[in-house]
Structure formats: C-alpha cells, structure tokens
Structure 1
Amino acid sequence: MLESTYFKLKFPEETDLKRWLSERDGEIRIGQNVLFRSTNESEDWKEKKFHVMGVKEDIGPRLNGGLGGSQAAFEAFIPRFLGVQSNQFLTGNSICIHGYIDSREPIDAISFMHVDDLDYLLSAWVKEVVDAGGVPIVIGGGHNNAYPIIKGVSESSGLAISVVNLDPHADTRAMEGRHSGNPFSYAYEYGFLGHYSVLGLHESYNNQFILDHLHEMKAFFTFYESWLEKPFKFQADIDKVYDSQFQNVMGVELDMDAIAYMPSSAFTPSGITVDQARIYLRKMASLEKVAYLHLPEAAPKNEREELIIGKTLTYLVTDFVKEYQKHHL
C-alpha cells in the first residue's frame, strides 16, 4: 500500500462499491466492466490502459487563498461515471479504478508540508502507472497536484514533458511553499516541465509576476478576452498547441475554474462552456503521446452542485477516453 505521513491511497472496498455502483435490468453500465484495484500484490491492473484516481484534499487551494471543497469532487464524479452505459462507444473494459488518496486522519492546521507529503504519494502512484504503460486520470483536489503528476510522468519517461492547461490562472506564482497557485513553477524549476502552454487566461486575474514568469519560461499563453473578441480564436489556439506539441510527451490539464458558473475553488461567472471544455479535451486526447488527464478544483457544496460537477466530469472523462481509444488503440 502506498502511504505517506499524512495521506494514504485507499483501494476500493465493499463499502465504496455500494456507494458507487448501480444496475438496471436489461442494461450494462461501465461500472460492471471496469477493474477495481484490490491489492498491491495483484498486478492485473497493469493490463488496463486508463487509471482513475481520486484526490480528496482542498489544502492546496486554501493555502492559495481559494475556497475549500475540492475534496468532495471525486465522490460527486465516480458513481455518475460508473453509471454510464457500456456500449459500442465505451465499454469500460480498458479502465481501472484505483480508488482515492485521502488523509490518514483529520488535518486541523494546514501547512505547506502537507502538500509536500501529498506530492510524494501522488507522484509515486503516477510513476507506477506510467511505468506500466498506463494513462493516469486524476480527479478532484487542487491544482497543486499538477506538480506531482508531471514529476511522476517525467521520472518514468526520463524526459522533461510538455503540458497544456486550459485555465483562467497560469498557476506560476512564486516558489513560496507548495500550493495550488504554483505547481507549474515548481515543475519547471526542477526540470520536469519542458514546455508549458496555458490557454484562456483571464487578463485581470494574473499578476505581473505571473505574466513575467510565463515569458521567462518561454511558455505559450493566450487570453480568454481574445476569444470574446474573436470566437474562432478558441479553436485556433487549441489547434496551435496541438500542431506544435503533437510529437511530444504531453500532459493535459483542465482547471474546472475555467467553466462559467462551475462550483469550484475560484468560481467565475465568465468563462468557457462545458461544450467548449469537451471540444478541448477531445482534441488533446488525440495527441500522439498524451500522457495524463488532470481535472482539479471542482468544489461542490450541496446535492445540486454535486450533480452538476459529477455529470460534467463524467462527460469530460468519457470524451477523453473515447477519443484516445479512437486514435491510439
């Protein structure tokens, strides 16, 4: 069992499956076809291509001055994801559900050391999956988790990887201790991130240090306001990243804050639609060497928000998996 000082990876147990699974006569749901990882000793999970992991934490966003609640995103997602139809478009046979990372006990006073501890555990899991030829799909938690995901992929591949992120915020703040506002700064500084593309930044929500840092990183970045003025630039920006990074090992990030009115750690009334998010992920899933999918920062506070987040995340993950399979398997 992968463990760290404050966090642990919990493989699915019977109590989890009772919460997550539903059946209906005459139908097959993908939850009936996916593999649920059981023990470290069994290695049948290595035969699957897609590996789903939940992260139940909101420490990173709160340390960055954001709202709490991202620890609840995975539980909003997983029963709705497992409940979709198994059919000619997606059977679920290529998917393994690894479970989720949770705190070992309640954390009363949060600190940067808790994020460091989570980094260790998540990067070890990502490396394990990529070493086995799999594609990690990480749901929930804060955007702080981009750093250990990038680290795990980079260490497995032996390369500084490329990453594309659709996000109102570049998350390249100063290296002042790990939180959700600086994962890409750390990944770049430590040599795990080779090229960073961030699409749809909001002009008024990135300070000058962040913008200057993007220039120093030689990042490719665009602004949401340009999509308002010229809507065709949304697709043009996606295509530019796709064409320039097609042959690179590429991580795919979508901060749920980017979607207008999505319950999240940094709620915004002005942003992309769910359909635009789907277009972005469907395109990036067809990249030649796409390495992972990360969907952080969703933060439901009630049943209605759980429904919105659960179904949105389900659309995004199923789109990604179906398009990947169409182009790679």
Structure 2
Amino acid sequence: MIQLQLQQKEELESLIRFRESETKLGEKITLCDSLDSLSELTQKFVIFGICEDIGVQANYGKSGASNAWNVFLNSFCNIQVNSYNKESNVILLGKITVSPDEEINEKTDRNILGAIVKRIDNKVAIVVQRIIEAGKIPIVIGGGHNNAYGNLKGATNALGQALNCVNIDAHTDLRLTDYRHSGNGFSYALNDKEGPYLNKYGVFGLHKNYTPQYVFNFIEEHNKKHGHTITYKFMEDMLFPNAQLEAFSDFINTIIDESFGLELDCDSIASFPSSAMSPSGFSLNTTRSFVKLLSASRYCRYFHICEAAPSLANSQQVGKALTYLVTDFIQNNDGNNII
C-alpha cells in the first residue's frame, strides 16, 4: 500500500523536547487535515516526507533513505521559534508511506521493484501537483532520487509546462529506461510518452568516475536534437572550495530564468550518510550556500532533498543537516527571511 499519511498532532508533540521559556517550532507549526484544505491556508511552504528506499534498492544502492523523514522531523520540530524562525509560513503535511504487498530483499526481482516505484511515482506526482495548484511550494524530504520523476510530473501537470531542473548531484540519473529505479528518474522525465516533464536539466558536481560512457553519449545526442538543454559541471573541475560558489552561480544562469525545481542528492555532500556516500564532494556549508542562492529565485517551484540514509549512530547529525538545508531554503525564499 502507498498512501499519504497526514501529520498528526499527537505524534508531533511526542517528538518535541519542551523547555520552559522556549517555544519550539513543533509547538506552533500548522498542520493540514486534507489536500483539499491547502488552498484555504495562507502559508507558502508545504513540507512532506517520502518514506521509501525501494528505488534505491532497485538501483543496487544502500538502503536507508526511507528513514530520512523521521530523523528530519525529530530535528525540525525542535528548532527555536524566534525572530529568524517563525512558524507562520509553513505547513507540515505528513509523509508518503510504502508498504509492499510482499517482503523486499536482495533477491527480489528488479522488475517487481520497478513496478512498485511506478506506483510511488503516481502518488508523489499527485501530492506535488495538489500543493502547487494551491499556490504553494513543496519541500520534499527523503526517498531515493527516483522521486525526482514524480516531482517533475506533478509540477508540470500543475503549471502546464515542462519544468527546468537544477540537480546538485554526483550522478546524472540518466541511466537506461529498462525499469524504474533511482538512477533513471530524469531519463523517464525526458522521455515519458505523456510528457516530457523536464525541459532544461543541469547537473552540478558530477563525478567522472561514476558516469557511464553511454550517458555522455546520450547527452550529446539529446543536445543535438533538442538544443543544448542538458548541461553538467564536473566536481573535478572545481575542487578548490573558493571557486565552487562562483561556478554554481554561472552554471545556473540559463536554467533558472523560468520555472524550475531544485533537486539535492545528499551523495553530492562529502562523507554525508547517503545511498552512495562518497569521500569527495561539496561541504555542507557550501551546499547550504547553493540552496540559499537558488531559493531566492521567484521561479523555484519545489525543493527535494533525497538519498540521505541515516543510521542509529548518526541520525541526530543527519536530522540537523537536513533541517539546516530546509530552513536555509525557507528563510531566503523571496528575501522574506522568515520561516
């Protein structure tokens, strides 16, 4: 079963670490009783989680992305309400949960996993579409990068045009479309017979060592047919931290001039617990700067953080990192400087 579970007040209160003379965000944040009621609320941002890692497992990755939402929520609801962090612009919607009809393990046929991912796609697309149609910005936490497809499909259906996308990622996720998994969400978004759901696509921080040649060939052929719509910037070409923010600013110019989505794969952050963790990548602080820069654009339609794979040992730190990224996005969006 794949369903949207709305956030319940009782569960949220059980996570809050109450302290005298302090107000935590979870005490004040707005909850929602249905997707239909979103349009009646004045808040700008709608946060929800995707609790699945089936797409990652189908792509031979490390499981754990299904736990990202829980560690995020535990941290996010305990940040302080103050003059910089205000609850007045955020709705906490809930989470999409996935309960397969049969047990999933390493022996499960990849086509079976792919079929489940397609069902997840449909649910994610519906939720994202409803949020954007209500005039709000979805902030999506968790799951594998297979969910980029659902994000793009939902946003495209809501806006009536294919979205551009900035993907901060060590990988293109333009693998073959033999079956659905976390490595081909953008391939499907480009080639879907009901789409496309993706227009201009930029991958920032791509790792040369983990990109198959056929992907480079595909990009070259695609750009010949459709104009120079797929771009990438290698991590290896900007190893000096001081050059990364300037390179990012230059890279995004031709992508963010119309409606776009922001995708952040946590494997782009050095040594971040993720489904494809790498010792090489951007620092968390640099990544936060990327998010702040993009969130200031009036054309940013959604923000998705994916592939974080926390364990019991590092759950607190992962939750805090995800929270920093979300609050950076909210505080800087449209220059409002409020949550």
User: Residues 105 and 179 (structure 1 numbering): CA distance in 2 closer, same or farther, change over 3 Å?
Assistant: closer
Distance (Å, rounded) in 1 between the aligned partners of 2:113 and 2:256: 38
- The residue number in structure 2 matching 1:49 is 44
CA distance in 1, matches of 2:27, 2:311: 29
Aligned pair partner of 1:222 in 220, 233, 253: 233
Selected match of 2:66 from 65, 68, 71 = 71
Residues 210-243 of structure 1: CA deviation (Å, up to 9, x unaligned): 1222332531101111112x54441233112332
Q: 1-side partners of 2:18 and 2:139: how far apart?
A: 24
Hey, what's the Cα distance between the residues in 1 that align with 2:323 and 2:147? 20
Q: What is the letter of the counterpart of residue 268 of structure 2?
A: A
**Contact in 2 for aligned 1:7/1:104 (Cα 8 Å):** yes
Give the SS at the match of 1:252. Answer: strand
Report whether the alignment pairs 1:197 with 2:202.
Answer: yes
State the distance in 1 between where 2:294 and 2:38 align: 29
Structure 2 gap segments, 5+ residues each = 105-111
Q: For residue 306 of structure 1, what is the amino acid of its counterpart?
A: S
Corresponding position of 1:279 = 289
Find the counterpart in structure 2 of residue 262 from structure 1: 272
Partner amino acid for 1:55?
A: I
Please report how far the alpha carbon of residue 288 of structure 1 lies from its aligned counterpart in structure 2 after TM superposition. Answer: 2.4
AA partner of residue 202 (structure 2): S
Q: Compared with structure 1, are the counterparts of its residues 212 and 95 closer, same or farther at alpha carbon in structure 2 (3 Å cutoff)?
A: same
Cα contact 1:281–1:316 (8 A) shared by 2? yes
The amino acid of 1:322's aligned partner reads Q
How much has 1:37 moved relative to structure 2? 1.6
The question of whether the paired residues in 2 share the 8 Å contact of 1:35 and 1:45 is answered with no
Letter in 1 for 2:16: L
Question: For the residues of structure 1 that align with 2:135 and 2:114, how far apart are their CA atoms?
Answer: 32
Residue number among 245, 251, 268 corresponding to 2:261 in the alignment: 251
Percent of pairs with identical residues? 32
Determine which of 306, 329, 339 is the counterpart of 1:320.
329
Q: Sort the Cα spacing of 1:19 and 1:69 in 2 relative to 1 into closer, same or farther, 3 A.
A: farther
Query: In structure 2, what residue type is equivalent to 1:97?
Result: L
1:17 paired residue number: 12
Secondary structure, counterpart of 2:69 in structure 1:
helix
Aligned to 1:36: 31
CA distance in 1, matches of 2:117, 2:79: 33
**CA–CA distance in structure 2, aligned partners of residues 156 and 238 of structure 1:** 28
CA RMSD of aligned residues (A): 1.8
2:78 alignment counterpart: 83
The alpha-carbon deviation at position 43 of structure 1 amounts to 4.3
Q: Kindly tell me the number of residue pairs found equivalent between the two proteins.
A: 322
CA contact (8 A) 2:65 2:306 kept: yes
TM normalised by structure 2 equals 0.90
Q: Which segment drifts farther, 80-89 or 289-298?
A: 80-89
Quick check: 2:265–2:306 contact (8 Å CA) kept in 1? yes
Paired residues of 2:66 and 2:309 also in contact (CA < 8 A): yes
Q: What are the equivalent positions in structure 2 for 1:144-183 lying under 5 Å apart? A: 144-183=146-185
Structure 1 contact 30–82 (Cα < 8 Å) conserved: yes
Residues in 1 aligned to 2:51 and 2:40: alpha-carbon distance in whole angstroms: 22
Q: Is the 8 A contact 1:261 1:267 kept in 2?
A: yes
Cα drift, residue 29 of structure 1: 1.7
Would the alpha carbon gap of residues 241 and 327 (structure 1) be closer, same or farther in structure 2, given more than 3 Å must change? farther
What amino acid does structure 1 have at the position aligned with 2:215?
I
- How far has the Cα of 1:300 moved from its partner? 1.1
Distance 1:232 1:15 in 2: 46
Deviations 1:255-306 (A, max 9, x none): 001111111100111111110110110001011210000000001121x311
Q: How many angstroms does 1:244 deviate by?
A: 2.1
SS at match of 1:47: coil
CA contact (8 A) 2:50 2:143 kept: yes
Q: SS where residue 87 of structure 2 aligns? A: coil
In structure 1, distance between residues paired with 2:334 and 2:22? 23
SS in 1 for 2:253: helix
1:213 aligned residue: 218
Q: Distance in 2 between matches of 1:130 and 1:294?
A: 14
* CA 170–41 in structure 1, closer or farther in 2 if over 3 Å, else same: closer
Alpha-carbon distance between aligned partners in 2 of 1:327 and 1:94, rounded to the nearest angstrom: 10
1:147 Cα deviation from its structure 2 partner? 0.3
Range 207-216 or range 32-41, more displaced: 32-41
TM-score with structure 1 length normalisation?
Answer: 0.93
